[in-house]
Structure 1
Amino acid sequence: MRKDLWKTVAVARLLGSSLFVACGVTPLAHAEEAADGAPIIVTARGRPEAEIAVPDTVAVFSRDDITRRRLTTVDDFIAETPGIFMINDQDPGTNLISVRGVSTNRNQSPSIAYVVDGLALADAELFTLRTYDLERVEILKGPQGALFGRSASGGAVNITTADPTDVAGGMASLGIGNGFTWTADAVANAPVSETVSLRLAGSYRNTEGFIRNTYLDRKVDGQISRNLRLKARIALTETSTLKLRAGWADEEGGAAYISSGNVTQLYAGRLSGKALTNPFGDFEGRAARDWWGLQATFEQTLGDDLNLTWTGGYDDYHKDFVEELDFRNTPLTFYGEPTFPNGIQPISQPVDLQAWTSELRLASRGAGPFRWHMGFFFQRTERGRTDDLGPLLFGAEPQRAKTRSNQIGIFAQGSYDVLPALEATLALRYDRDRRKEDTLGTQSDQTYARRAQTFDKWQPKISLAWRPTNDLTAYVTGAVGFKAGGFNPLPGPSDIWTADFAAETTKALEAGIKARVADDRVRLSLAGFVTDYRNFQNTVFLGNSVVLSVPRVDVHGIEASAQADVGQGFRVDGGMAWTRSRVGRYTTPNPTPEPGEPAILDLKGKRTPNAPDWTLNGGLDWSGAAGAAIIDARLSVAYVSRVDFEIDNILHSPGYTSVDGRVGVTLGSWTLDLWAKNLFDKRWAISAFGQQQLPLLLGLGPDGPFDSFTINTGRQFGLGASRRF
């Protein structure tokens, strides 16, 4: 794969050089933040500072990066970041993110904090809302609980949307792509007065889809997405500012377009080649969701030394989701008995969410030897989820879980220059999450269970950073993170799970180096890490989604990245991450015991789900001027090694490589884009659950048993035009 990557880069550079020599195209320097030697500024530690000075691994995407790489969803940003991996599963709101082997479990608290404009989102359902009109995206890897609190045990995604400015203008774009895909985006920035500025941004996407159900003979992954955001910036006084944000999103389309087949027995669990069939179920899954949210941020400068910031927000979210569970097109038997003549459908799982979030922060100003901030965080979440399993209930009423969470956090961080070239940072946060859950009958309103648990944790973080020059930082960081526990569906007398499951904790040690050389034309970073991962919340399908805690997971790895301006308009970038995440200690009852198989499984040494050992990225950019036009082109390659979808490591996707490309031509205020993702139309499985973990699939027939999986969309390409005004 590496040889192929460098051959591609070499060929692209040769073609680009030939192009501008033959056609009179003049190479341009890239308009990056660091092109003139200025540092890339991030807020990874709660204050603006140079990225090279941060003693953590931080991937940064500027506005220019976002445009040039055509990053339109959180999936795109994660796919461009080695060491982090994401699965979208069954419906638009269900996703699983793994950072350095620390994985999110289904329908519970995430393992990564997702922060938008300084405020942490309350639930992973909100992570996949469409991203647009962004200023910057930062992805931090490793436990970040000392700053971002519970649910940052693996890392954090920090998104900053574009603020209003005092210059009138905007942008409008239209695009068309395969799958009969239409997109429209627009931004309007309007200074209303000397003290008030507004910014309105919108995004629309409508696609027929890419995955065809062979039984229904139609595409089943089509989607319509509508999004709006209004921001206001009000200068109250010379020292105080109020920012307001209102957002809305509405989406509808296909869901659970899942294929099935006996991959375990016919292909030894390997999801590739002939095993990757299109879906052929007789029921079309659908999902619809809507969200609206409000946020206010007040910033006050107190004298010459302090900044006071308060931010608060409200989110309201609803999702309807319906699917089948057999993914077949014939009357079904269960262990040979004609049990489901109409299939297992419809299955409905609606979700409702309301969240109130607030944070108060006091921070020092200036670049003195001691820099600090402290704050208080509060978040209240009310979440309702119904599991209407249709025919599998055999006449019983569906149940609805109503979960209420009250989280408070108190935190402080201080950095002190022990020596002119040596900085010590100490951070500490205490989080307390009080959770209650009532399980109610949706028809009788009968209370089946009422449970409550409190999860709390002190999360320290300590760093030492040595900076002999502004172009070199060597550091070591130790950090603790945790993720709250939760509640399983009520177990029956013979079930192997417990009603509650414990909180997850991570303790990590990281050492790294960051450097800028050759007059800042080359940037390098290297980091190694070790993580002690306890009570991993492993999701298993045993009639329903349940969590079985894995006492210990051993994680260690190494990461490296580089960016270089190599002249003549060319710029290369690349990154690699090797993460070894293995079960350290875990025995569990065999969920699907067959004759001759042990009743207890010892899974020590197994790969953790959704955590590939290797993730690599490489890209080549070129910019040049041809007369009055500016040409900007990019070719990128990404590789993901084997992905195991369940902890028994049977059902898996082998490693795969994808290639993306974009060519943009700008003439005056107009830009024309030609782009392609997964250029060579590679196919792989993006999620799966198998017969060895789900007894239902083991017994269903005819032609069973079988496994279920979702295939990727294949090649996407399109053409877009935009105009700035």
Structure 2
Amino acid sequence: MRRYAIISFTCLSTLPFAFSNVARAAEGSEADRILVTARGREEAEIGVPDTVTVYGPAAIAARKMATIDDFIAATPGIFIINDQDPGTNVISVRGVSTNRSQSPSIAYIVDGLALADSELFTLRTYDVARVEILKGPQGALFGRSASGGAIAVATNEPGPDWGGEAAVGIGNGFTWTADGVVNAPLSDRVQVRLAGSYRNGEGFIRNSFLDKKVDGQISRNLRLKATMALSETATLKLRASWADEEGGAAYISSGNVTGLYGGRLAGEALTDPFGDFEGRSDRNYWGIQATYEQLLGDALSLSWTGGYDEYHKDFVEELDFRNDTPITLGGIPLFPDGIQPISQPVDILAWTSELRLTSMTDGPLRWHVGLFFQRLERDRTDDFGPLLFGAEALRAETRSNQIGVFAQASYDIAPTIELTAALRYDRDRRKEDTVGTASDALVAQRVQTFDKWQPKISLAWRPNANLTAYVTGAVGFKAGGFNPLPGPADVWEAVFPSETTKSVEVGVKAQSSDGRLRGSIAGFVTDYSNFQNTVFLGNSVVLSVSQVDVHGLEASGDVALGAGFRVDGGIAWTHSRTGRYLTPNPTPEPGEPAIVDMSGKRTPNAPDWTVNGGIGWQGTAGPALVDARLSVAYVSRVDFEIDNILHTPGYTSVDGRVGVTQGAWTFDIWAKNLFDKRWAISAFGQQQLPLLLGLGPNGPFDSFTINTGRQFGASAAVKF
């Protein structure tokens, strides 16, 4: 209770300062509003009683954003780990973290439709109109898997004018890019838009044993959208998307970082990979979506959207990440050719549908109600090759049926005070069959239903259009799941429970009437229950942490300095620590306890501090428009596992871009991680993974992946 009071007081005490800034702002025309759809309808971001970060076309171009990683890296309070292959990722929002191969902790919505699996999150983003990042539980609107927050991506819609854009680029690592858009109005009622993106790069990380770069990638993407006016009140929208990617994967380094460097992944510990097997990944995706919108008089709007997604990934790697032969386990030479190949293919089929009825008036009461359904079929094979010692590889066939019912209403209880209440019920019935890949024999079968009521309530005070103070309380949850069937001596349960987050946020947003100054501050406290912590005990299993204590503060702002200069920045402090947590020792040695105390540990992949800042300038040089930006990002210590041994210390990176536009042409040069800083982006430690502890010769080892280092390039684009 004391934490709630301290953080609430800190945020509310800034209210007079924020209000005075607004009051002192120069009189002028009302500033352009940043519009968002965070609450199911288009409205000004400053009026939304949540922390929302928005990136529009100008910001996306200035920061050279092309993947979800780019958007997350620019946003304080949210962090992403890319692990082993392009589809596997771990996202942490305010300490609430995804776990590998299970449901995500963040909803990812593209053009109004929630993606069913985190494998789809890392597909390339292109021709984007807007990206909104919402922090804090968003289950009342987005349902299961929005326990940490939500990312909503809106791609550009077809327009009424003929035209398009083409761009080509070149960068280090022998990287070539090509992007194009064609907008074609076929008639007064039908418009189509075709967009594509291509990337081909040799890579940046060199394997010293194979003497080649091993992180190269080819990415091909196409999207066709159509908008059809069926009548004066009815519209049909169609979208078809395709992606095909292939390239390096599991370019993982190996070394005794725990023993030699105390688990600190920096300096001499950050060796290049030197394994004798090149990991590869090949994935392809296609999906279709249809949206029907119908106005029902002047007061109501009915919309339905449905989609189908199909995804396949082939992934192959080694598990020793070394070139020694034979590889020993516990001193015994069991693997004469190393632990390779290891294969983990994934297949996903998903059907998603949402029906929504929305009020259209701007009166004191604004509401919407809806129904949601999603069917997910996910198959994953764990073929551990030599580690099976001749046994049959197993495939987990997971089937999930999620049904959601939701409603939200906002009511102006006074001219300056808005009360918003929302409620959603989600029911996720899951079934998982574990079968032999060769025999199709049923090894295990589990069925479980996970459900939750997710309320949300907000109270917002808006004395004018440039100031909002609010308090929001929300509940979110992430469905539980299935571990490999445990044996008599195993310490994990066959079924692990759902995660639950209960959060209170207090915040203030303000801007000057001329738009030259914007700022916000928010404090939050989250009750985080049954954190799903992934460990590797012969296979990937989840051990639940009953309680995690999370609280923090965030602030952001931007100001126009004049003469074309504008400065922006944000800072987030998140204190995420385990409560009392006694857990089986994953790597018990003689004389060590069977149960270890992990209470008070930092949660994995959740840095305490994330800071972003930048300065931009727009001006003219003769007939040309110049747009330049320099950005700085800082991330504090990141712990990769719950024992807090293997970690990367804090690091800073600098990005920059200069663009010159003359007529229809734009030329730019850019750099990311300008000073070529190196850090680890994921890691597995010997104290959490028995295989690494027993590997030899010359073991034990930790495994980790280093970042790509400096990237730079140039591009040219033309509009027609």
For the superposition of Structure 1 and Structure 2, which TM-score range results when normalised by the shorter chain? over 0.9
Instruction: Name the CA shift for 1:35/1:113 in 2 (closer, same or farther; >3 Å).
Output: farther
- Alignment of 1:688 with 2:683, yes or no, is yes
Count of residue pairs the alignment pairs up: 692
- Which residue among 184, 188, 195 is the counterpart of 2:189? 195
Distance, in Å, in 2 between the alignment partners of 1:35 and 1:491 is: 66
Distance, in Å, in 2 between the alignment partners of 1:257 and 1:36 is: 52
- Alignment of 1:713 with 2:708, yes or no, is yes
Tell me which residue corresponds to 2:153: 159
Distance, in Å, in 1 between the alignment partners of 2:577 and 2:331 is: 38
Q: CA deviation at 1:339?
A: 1.0
Distance, in Å, in 1 between the alignment partners of 2:491 and 2:445 is: 20
Distance, in Å, in 1 between the alignment partners of 2:459 and 2:171 is: 49
Distance, in Å, in 2 between the alignment partners of 1:79 and 1:327 is: 28
SS of equivalent residue, structure 1 residue 443: coil
Tell me which residue corresponds to 2:5: none
Distance, in Å, in 2 between the alignment partners of 1:59 and 1:636 is: 16
Tell me which residue corresponds to 1:29: none
Tell me which residue corresponds to 1:640: 635
- Which residue among 370, 377, 385 is the counterpart of 2:380? 385
Tell me which residue corresponds to 1:368: 363
- Alignment of 1:678 with 2:681, yes or no, is no
Tell me which residue corresponds to 2:611: 616
Tell me which residue corresponds to 1:666: 661
- Alignment of 1:316 with 2:316, yes or no, is no
Q: CA deviation at 1:217?
A: 0.3
In structure 2, give the amino acid aligned to 1:366. Answer: T
SS of equivalent residue, structure 2 residue 210: coil
Aligned pairs (5 A) from 1:443-462: 443-462=438-457
Distance, in Å, in 2 between the alignment partners of 1:474 and 1:203 is: 41
Distance, in Å, in 1 between the alignment partners of 2:47 and 2:88 is: 35
In structure 1, give the amino acid aligned to 2:76. Answer: P
Q: CA deviation at 1:491?
A: 1.5
Distance, in Å, in 2 between the alignment partners of 1:602 and 1:55 is: 39
Distance, in Å, in 1 between the alignment partners of 2:35 and 2:515 is: 15
Decide whether the 8 Å contact of 2:30 with 2:514 is kept in 1: no
SS of equivalent residue, structure 1 residue 367: coil
Decide whether the 8 Å contact of 2:314 with 2:344 is kept in 1: yes
- Which residue among 406, 414, 422 is the counterpart of 1:411? 406
Distance, in Å, in 1 between the alignment partners of 2:707 and 2:30 is: 41
Tell me which residue corresponds to 2:40: 46
In structure 2, give the amino acid aligned to 1:353. Answer: I
Tell me which residue corresponds to 2:561: 566
Distance, in Å, in 1 between the alignment partners of 2:589 and 2:389 is: 26
In structure 2, give the amino acid aligned to 1:219. Answer: K
- Which residue among 242, 251, 254 is the counterpart of 2:245? 251
Distance, in Å, in 2 between the alignment partners of 1:333 and 1:357 is: 48
> Normalised by the size of structure 1, how large is the TM-score?
0.95
RMSD over equivalenced CA pairs, Å: 0.9
In structure 2, give the amino acid aligned to 1:599. Answer: A
SS of equivalent residue, structure 1 residue 697: helix
SS of equivalent residue, structure 1 residue 65: helix
In structure 1, give the amino acid aligned to 2:220. Answer: R
Distance, in Å, in 1 between the alignment partners of 2:137 and 2:358 is: 22
Distance, in Å, in 2 between the alignment partners of 1:377 and 1:113 is: 14
**What per-residue deviation string (whole Å, max 9, x for no partner) do you get for residues 86-115 of structure 1?**
010000000000000000000000000000
In structure 1, give the amino acid aligned to 2:701. Answer: F
Decide whether the 8 Å contact of 2:29 with 2:514 is kept in 1: no
Distance, in Å, in 1 between the alignment partners of 2:316 and 2:488 is: 30
Tell me which residue corresponds to 2:94: 100
In structure 1, give the amino acid aligned to 2:610. Answer: T
Tell me which residue corresponds to 1:261: 255
Decide whether the 8 Å contact of 1:115 with 1:121 is kept in 2: yes
- Alignment of 1:328 with 2:333, yes or no, is no
Tell me which residue corresponds to 2:586: 591
Q: CA deviation at 1:36?
A: 6.2
- Alignment of 1:431 with 2:437, yes or no, is no
Tell me which residue corresponds to 1:17: none
- Alignment of 1:358 with 2:339, yes or no, is no
Tell me which residue corresponds to 1:224: 218
- Alignment of 1:469 with 2:461, yes or no, is no
**What per-residue deviation string (whole Å, max 9, x for no partner) do you get for residues 684-704 of structure 1?**
000000100001111110110
Decide whether the 8 Å contact of 1:536 with 1:549 is kept in 2: yes
- Alignment of 1:125 with 2:119, yes or no, is yes
- Which residue among 614, 621, 633 is the counterpart of 1:626? 621
- Alignment of 1:238 with 2:194, yes or no, is no
**What per-residue deviation string (whole Å, max 9, x for no partner) do you get for residues 104-133 of structure 1?**
000000000000000000000000000000
Distance, in Å, in 1 between the alignment partners of 2:513 and 2:529 is: 43
**Structure 2, unaligned runs of 5 or more:** 1-27
Tell me which residue corresponds to 1:551: 546
**What per-residue deviation string (whole Å, max 9, x for no partner) do you get for residues 581-635 of structure 1?**
0001211011111233222111110000000000000000001111110110000
Q: CA deviation at 1:35?
A: 9.7
**What per-residue deviation string (whole Å, max 9, x for no partner) do you get for residues 256-287 of structure 1?**
00000000010000000000000000000000
Distance, in Å, in 1 between the alignment partners of 2:385 and 2:404 is: 41
In structure 1, give the amino acid aligned to 2:308. Answer: Y
SS of equivalent residue, structure 1 residue 361: strand
- Which residue among 294, 297, 311 is the counterpart of 1:303? 297
List, as ranges, runs of 4+ consecutive aligned residues in structure 1 with deviation greater than 4 Å.
none
Distance, in Å, in 2 between the alignment partners of 1:228 and 1:535 is: 40
- Which residue among 180, 205, 209 is the counterpart of 2:174? 180
Decide whether the 8 Å contact of 1:35 with 1:521 is kept in 2: no
- Alignment of 1:536 with 2:515, yes or no, is no
Decide whether the 8 Å contact of 2:287 with 2:308 is kept in 1: yes
Distance, in Å, in 1 between the alignment partners of 2:353 and 2:328 is: 52
Q: CA deviation at 1:250?
A: 0.1
Distance, in Å, in 2 between the alignment partners of 1:333 and 1:122 is: 40
- Alignment of 1:292 with 2:302, yes or no, is no
Q: CA deviation at 1:669?
A: 0.3
Distance, in Å, in 2 between the alignment partners of 1:226 and 1:38 is: 36
SS of equivalent residue, structure 1 residue 493: coil
Distance, in Å, in 2 between the alignment partners of 1:346 and 1:300 is: 53
Tell me which residue corresponds to 1:342: 337
SS of equivalent residue, structure 1 residue 130: coil
SS of equivalent residue, structure 1 residue 256: coil
Instruction: Name the CA shift for 1:188/1:35 in 2 (closer, same or farther; >3 Å).
Output: farther
Q: CA deviation at 1:499?
A: 1.0
Distance, in Å, in 2 between the alignment partners of 1:112 and 1:574 is: 24
In structure 1, give the amino acid aligned to 2:230. Answer: L
Distance, in Å, in 2 between the alignment partners of 1:188 and 1:686 is: 37
Tell me which residue corresponds to 1:147: 141
In structure 1, give the amino acid aligned to 2:399. Answer: R
Tell me which residue corresponds to 1:21: none
> Normalised by the size of structure 2, how large is the TM-score?
0.96
Tell me which residue corresponds to 1:478: 473
**What per-residue deviation string (whole Å, max 9, x for no partner) do you get for residues 169-197 of structure 1?**
10000000000000000000000000000
Decide whether the 8 Å contact of 1:431 with 1:456 is kept in 2: yes
Tell me which residue corresponds to 2:396: 401
Distance, in Å, in 2 between the alignment partners of 1:444 and 1:241 is: 50
Distance, in Å, in 1 between the alignment partners of 2:29 and 2:571 is: 24
SS of equivalent residue, structure 1 residue 75: helix
Determine what percentage of the aligned residue pairs are the same residue: 76
Instruction: Name the CA shift for 1:35/1:625 in 2 (closer, same or farther; >3 Å).
Output: farther
Decide whether the 8 Å contact of 1:58 with 1:140 is kept in 2: yes
Q: CA deviation at 1:518?
A: 6.0
SS of equivalent residue, structure 1 residue 122: coil
- Which residue among 632, 635, 644 is the counterpart of 1:649? 644
Tell me which residue corresponds to 2:24: none
Q: CA deviation at 1:530?
A: 0.1
SS of equivalent residue, structure 1 residue 52: helix
Q: CA deviation at 1:519?
A: 2.6
Distance, in Å, in 2 between the alignment partners of 1:387 and 1:519 is: 58
